[in-house]
Structure 1
Amino acid sequence: MITSLEIRGFKRFESESFALRPLTVLTGVNGGGKSTVIQSLLLARLAATSSTATGGAVRLNGPFGLALGEARDVLNWTTDTREITVRLGGRNGESWVYGFRLPDAEQALHLDVQRLPVAHVPGIGTHVADPGFTYLCAERLGPRDTLSVSAEEPDRIGVGERGEYTAQVLALRESRAVSTRKVVRQQLHHPEAAGPQMRVQAEAWASEIIRPLRITARVAVGIMASTIRFGEPGLSGEEIRPVNTGFGISYALPVIVAGLLTEPADLLIVENPEAHLHPAGQSRLGQFLARVAGSGVQVLMETHSDHVLNGVRLAVARDRSLRAGDMITHYFDHDRTLPIDINDKGELSHWPSGFFDQIETDLGRLARARHGR
């Protein structure tokens, strides 16, 4: 597992370090650096998979949906070098360094790779096959009548960074059991599901998190497309198109399927899991992602939802599906980053100003308004 991340010279970070746990939550103000943390891990993954030695390059636009612009746009404006470093640390004191350098032409659309780790990096390294590394971006696909298909080997197909392969994954793995490689993985099996199969588990979790539903996924032969349809339990055979179900299902289902696809030691990165979900669903999705982390997977998520955070707190305090020491939250303010721990009662170590306190602020203003103050 990756236990630390150090970023040098990349975007807003001249030099910054972060502790990482089985579940790491990034939250805070817009433009505070949350996405930069995730993008640094994406650069490391790109370097690991596209370069076999120094002398390679990573594209700043395209892969993982990145749109970082020109090389000069990603160099920290206060640094006096042309180098970017991403250093990862491990549990046993390991250190894995990815080094990048701006090309001579600052308008270049890539970074030159100067340094790569020799040893295997958990969740990111060269030997990690998709979907062992999964990144789901904030701008996932909304309801679609058809979805894409990947030409990869079936076992190497993940849900895609926008959830575009979710239907294909469900169709190909419909009858395959969700992993129980370790006994601890059994907690990912929904207690009310009729079996361990991927479709059955996905339906059970989606029914709990979003709303009761049935899922039918198919790969359309000959047209390189996949389809997914939904149904109401108890209504025999009637299939509902995604466009008639709203955005919540289409945004949340890839997160659920991605979690069910994981194996211990995998890395799952999710941006804004709460998008388009009602508050109860946000809380339950937070509990689900905490279960994924508690099953041996490293999960990093960016969120603006106090409901998601409270769902994770419930997973620690009530469900006991995640140990308190296996979670950390980083709060990004305008000019600082604060780590926040949690205890086994779900209590946070501190609650800085601006950290999910807007409801109290607004209620206080409403109370004063009622009294004419």
Structure 2
Amino acid sequence: MINNITLKAFKSFLYRELDLENLTILTGLNSSGKSSIIQSLLILDKAFKNEKNLLLDGHGTESDLKNKNSKESIELSIEIDNVEYSIEFPNNKETFKANLFPRVWHISANRFGPQLSIPISNDEGSKNMIGKNGENVLQCIRYYDSINPVSLDESIKHPDATSFTLLENIRTWLKVISPNVDFNYEVIDISDSSYATYDGFRATNVGFGLSYILPVITTLLVSTFEKNNLVIIENPEAHLHPKGQTELAKLICLCAKLGTQVVVETHSDHVFTGVRLFAKENDFADKTLIHWFELDENRNTDVTTIFIDNDGRINEWPLGFFDQFELNHSKLI
């Protein structure tokens, strides 16, 4: 498991060490540094795989990522099982063992909405992977549904599911989002495509929420099949109603409790409250960390780390931290 990450002269960070837990929640104002944590994890993932061009794939050049207020070189460090590894730009010469870094599953905020078809990979080694935009999700479901069936752990089987299969539990979790919805899919190998149906209708004829949440649910469940997995999810709450967001928080916590390390970037008070409820009811508080991000007057990132206790309470409540509902409500009284 990744214990912490350190960023020096990276984007809006002058220098910051951040602890990570089984479940780490990143939240705060827009453009305050949350996505930079995710970006640094993805760059480190590439470094551990000994890939060249670490700053490509949408990350930009060194000048794009350099903190404007620092004369230091960019340095990213990470601690895995209490051993520290670091890389420095632009002259990094470190070589890491790829198997030290967790297998990363990244579901981005730009994941596919309703599509007539979802692309699949024709690479034999990628058939059980899910792309950051949700591509290949249906082929991944097929892989674990029929090609290489794997049973879910009892602790994350949905209580309403009739079996421990991946497909049955995906269907059951989707019914939490949209009651009684009937999910099916088809993979068409000859055209490297796939499509999902909900109650017999293509995804383009139903609401956005089901399409947005399918890769999130699938990734979380699949990540529990093996050890040493890191799931990074941006805005899991997108297009979900409050109950769906709260239930999704429960699934996130269940997977993290089982051993998957999960990093979530969210603006949702329902996800946040759902995590607090789970912590209170399931002895999970010490496995959860919340990092609140703000910018100082020089537009450098400040981070406040917030802890949840065994009663689901938090140790401090910074101004702006999930307080807008109360502020608005006070004006209505």
What's the counterpart of residue 331 of structure 2? 365
Aligned counterparts, 1:270-289, within 5 A:
270-289=233-252
2:254 aligned with 1:254, yes or no?
Answer: no
Alpha-carbon distance, 1:74 to partner? 0.7
Paired residues, number: 325
What's the counterpart of residue 8 of structure 2? 8
SS in 2 for 1:97: strand
More displaced, 197-206 or 268-277?
A: 197-206
Alpha-carbon distance, 1:330 to partner? 0.2
SS in 1 for 2:256: helix
Q: Deviations over 1:24-66 (max 9, x none)?
A: 0000001110000100001011222243xxxx43242x3xxx3
2:125, 2:156 → 1: CA distance? Answer: 22
Alpha-carbon distance, 1:98 to partner? 2.5
2:290 aligned with 1:311, yes or no?
Answer: no
Q: Which one-letter code corresponds to 1:100 in the other structure?
A: F
Q: Deviations over 1:273-322 (max 9, x none)?
A: 0001011111111111011100101000000000001111121112x1x6
Residue ranges of structure 1 left out of the alignment (5+ in a row): 102-111, 124-131, 232-238, 368-373
2:305 aligned with 1:342, yes or no?
Answer: no
Q: For the Cα contact (< 8 Å) 1:58–1:113, is it kept in 2? A: no
Q: For the Cα contact (< 8 Å) 1:7–1:17, is it kept in 2? A: yes
Normalising to structure 2: TM-score of the pair?
0.92
From the superposition, tell whether residues 118 and 256 of structure 1 become closer, same or farther in structure 2 (CA, over 3 Å): closer
> More helix by proportion, 1 or 2?
2
Aligned counterparts, 1:67-146, within 5 A:
68-81=59-72, 83-91=73-81, 93-101=82-90, 113-118=92-97, 120-123=99-102, 132-146=103-117
From the superposition, tell whether residues 6 and 213 of structure 1 become closer, same or farther in structure 2 (CA, over 3 Å): same
From the superposition, tell whether residues 154 and 72 of structure 1 become closer, same or farther in structure 2 (CA, over 3 Å): closer
Alpha-carbon distance, 1:192 to partner? 1.6
RMSD: 1.8
What's the counterpart of residue 297 of structure 1? 260
SS in 1 for 2:244: helix
Q: Which one-letter code corresponds to 2:191 in the other structure?
A: I
2:321 aligned with 1:355, yes or no?
Answer: yes
* Greater radius of gyration (CA): 1
1:258, 1:172 → 2: CA distance? Answer: 13
1:167, 1:290 → 2: CA distance? Answer: 24
Q: Deviations over 1:309-353 (max 9, x none)?
A: 1111121112x1x62100000001222210001111111111111
SS in 1 for 2:263: strand
Residue ranges of structure 2 left out of the alignment (5+ in a row): 297-301
Q: For the Cα contact (< 8 Å) 2:249–2:272, is it kept in 1? A: yes
SS in 1 for 2:133: coil
2:22 aligned with 1:22, yes or no?
Answer: yes
From the superposition, tell whether residues 247 and 209 of structure 1 become closer, same or farther in structure 2 (CA, over 3 Å): same
Alpha-carbon distance, 1:207 to partner? 1.1
Q: Considering Cα pairs closer than 8 Å and 6+ residues apart, tell me whether 1 or 2 has the greater RCO.
A: 2
From the superposition, tell whether residues 188 and 44 of structure 1 become closer, same or farther in structure 2 (CA, over 3 Å): same
1:357, 1:29 → 2: CA distance? Answer: 12
